[in-house]
Amino acid sequence: MVEAALERRRLLRELAADRVDLGLSQTAVAAEMGTSQSAVARIESGNADVRMSTVERYAATLGRKVEWRIAAGSPRRAGVARRRVSATSSKTVAARKKR
C-alpha cells in the first residue's frame, strides 16, 4: 500500500511539473477542467485521495494521457482474495438451493 501511495504521488508531481513547464497556472488548469484552483492544488499535493477520472481529466488538460495497468500482487493477498470469493460463492450457491 505504501508503494502504491508513493507511486501516485510521483505521478501527480510529474503532472504538476508538466503544468509548470507548460507555463500554466493552477487557476488556468482549473478553469479548463471546470473546477477550482484549490481542487487543482489538492490534486497536485498528492495528499488527497483523488478519483481516477479526475487524474485523467487533469492529465488531458495538460495534453497527457494516464494509462492504468494491473500488476500481480503478493501471493498472500491473492490467497485472501480467493478465499473470500470462494466463501461468497459457497454462500450464494447455498442460498439458491434454499429457494
pLDDT tens per residue, range 30-83: 999 999 999 999 999 988 889 999 999 999 999 999 998 887 877 665 555 555
Computed over its alpha carbons, how large is the radius of gyration of the chain? Answer: 20
The tally of domains found in the chain comes to 1
Q: What does residue 72 show for φ and ψ, rounded to 5 degrees? A: -60, 140
Q: Is 68 contained in some domain?
A: no
> What's the pLDDT band for 3 if we cut at 50, 70, 90?
confident
Helix (H) or strand (E) holding 19: helix 2-21
Answer yes or no: is pLDDT of 22 > 80.
Answer: yes
Q: Is 94 contained in some domain?
A: no
Answer yes or no: is pLDDT of 99 > 80.
Answer: no
**3-state helix, strand and coil shares in percent for the chain, rounded to the nearest 5:** 70, 0, 30
Q: Is 82 contained in some domain?
A: no
96 or 62, greater pLDDT: 62
91 alpha-carbon distance from chain centroid: 32
Q: What pLDDT is attached to residue 32? A: 96
CATH of the domain at 29: 1.10.260
